[in-house]
Chain A
């Protein structure tokens, strides 16, 4: 399992109510179920992935975070998780606002476009960076709203949400930011 998932599972308390937005094949939901006794809910846009989740006995609805978070009442969940997809939304601002309306807290992970390798790549090659975790070219990437860690902090001030905790992780280890 991805380091990121392990960290998220660690952060969330037992028996919390969790919504995993963009839950993919349900790996995180399963881990929450097994380790924290959490009956998490998921939203996933891919039909195939929803079917995989169903085959694992997970409660998932097919949908899109930009349109389908609307149906949940305020504070329906203790945590809403959005993993690595914020940059792919047409309107990340709406998504963040919705996450924080539906959840008491949100756990959002983003690829950091300010990582030194990315910066170096752009500086030396003069082309849009292509890295291990961002493998697409500019013309076919689903990531249309890339930001850096600093951008995200600035964003938190603009739309006024409080960051409780932030962590930076490479593929292997993570450091407190």
Chain B
């Protein structure tokens, strides 16, 4: 598969000092755009993707041939209306859709990095992506939007570049990864590491893939993206293509079959080492600590208008954690709106067809765009 021809890439020449202490330069940042930049260059929205997303936000992903991960929200006349806005999304560094990541070759050793790739943070990700503004000669983005890890990037971005966005929309996220979040990520990483094929991260050189481990990681994570109620309603105890239990360990239940399927399709599109690196970046994310325990300080320099959205059934990044961001903003008199959307679809609600969410996001953006000065 020659994926390169379908991927737009910006080569970032100037050195980027990473949080781990290392510097990188001349590295690729893969991105995609939708809609067109207007003459005033004031209609650009930078969308940040979540753990397993990529730059192909909407339409058919040219690599996977499936719908883009945010097709419900982004497109002509949708919440993020590509008739109106110029949407940019980059694959995060550490990722596996063209941006500099562990599956790339180390120019010094001529070997694939694997776990020799430097550990990346959310801060590093946004510091790489700021280069897109120079590339498109955009002085100020109309908005930055993202859910889950995308929301963390939104928070980090506005904290690092307080005057680079007019509106700021973190969705279903947190300002500090909780012990539970870290625990689930560690479960995924250990599933990968315990796959014999992983070979301490050198599987690409060995021409093997730790697909069993990666698939178990995905299955476990997938459960955390859904709600108990949603799972119960969709699957209950329904059996998979059988009338009775088989008294064995095949997928008797539909939920088992569903998870196995989710795991198996994931390994076709995602790199196991990238999964390790990106989950690590999420775990290291602690904006509160970055500002010595006072989250408000992170936002003190910005005049941007914030709108924060959470979901009732999201137990991975629950409403309270989203509200902590609202509280920090109100404490400094920032312009912040907040709504918790009612949905049974769990953390994944932001990716799915949840009309109240899609409508609210559209209303916020369109109204703010009309009133931009």
Contact = CB atoms under 8 A, between A and B. Distances in A.
B341 A63 contact: no
A50 interface: yes
Interface of B is mostly: mixed
A76 interface: yes
B337 A55 contact: no
Interface residues of B, number: 24
A59 interface: yes
A62 B338 CA distance: 6
Interface string A43-65: 00001001101111111111100
Contacts of A53: 337
Interface in A64-96: 71-73, 76
A57 B340 contact: no
A54 B336 CA distance: 11
B286 to A, nearest CB: 21
Interface in B313-363: 326-327, 330-331, 333, 335-342, 356, 359-360, 363
Contacts of A56: 367
Given A71-B327, A73-B331, A47 B368 contact: no
Contacts of B331: 71-73
A53 B340 CA distance: 14
B364 A54 contact: yes
Contact of A61 (B326, B333, B359): B326
A47 B363 contact: no
Contacts of B371: 57
B339 A54 contact: yes
B370 interface: yes
Contact of A57 (B339, B342, B367): B367
A47 B339 contact: yes
Most buried by B among A51, A56, A58: A51
A55 B339 CA distance: 12
Interface of A is mostly: mixed
B78 interface: no
A140 B367 CA distance: 38
Contact of B305 (A55, A59, A71, A72): A59
Nearest to A52: B363
Contact of A47 (B307, B335, B342): B342
Contact of A62 (B330, B333, B335, B339): B339
Contact of B339 (A50, A72, A76): A50
Contacts of B337: 53-54, 58-61
B361 to A, nearest CB: 9
B333 A76 contact: yes
Contacts of A57: 367-368, 370-371
Nearest to B310: A62
B363 A55 contact: yes
Contacts of B356: 47, 51
A57 to B, nearest CB: 3
Contacts of B367: 54-57
Contacts of A47: 339-342, 356
B326 A54 contact: no
Most buried by A among B337, B360, B371: B337
A39 B342 CA distance: 27
A47 B311 CA distance: 11
Contacts of B336: 59, 61
B370 A63 contact: no
B312 to A, nearest CB: 9
Contacts of B341: 47
Interface string B201-227: 000000000000000000000000000
A61 B331 CA distance: 13
A51 B360 contact: yes
Contacts of B327: 71
Contact of A72 (B330, B340, B363): B330
Contacts of B364: 54
Nearest to A60: B337
Contacts of B338: 60-63
Contacts of B359: 51, 55
A78 to B, nearest CB: 12
Contacts of B326: 61, 71
Most buried by A among B326, B327, B338, B341: B338
A10 B307 CA distance: 30
Interface of B: 305, 307, 326-327, 330-331, 333, 335-342, 356, 359-360, 363-364, 367-368, 370-371
* 7 interchain residue pairs of minimum CB distance: A57-B367, A61-B338, A55-B363, A71-B327, A71-B330, A50-B339, A59-B337
Given A53-B337, A61-B326, 7 more contacts: A50-B339, A51-B359, A54-B339, A54-B363, A55-B360, A60-B339, A61-B338
13 contacts: A39-B335, A47-B339, A47-B341, A51-B356, A54-B339, A54-B367, A57-B368, A59-B335, A60-B337, A61-B336, A62-B338, A71-B330, A71-B331
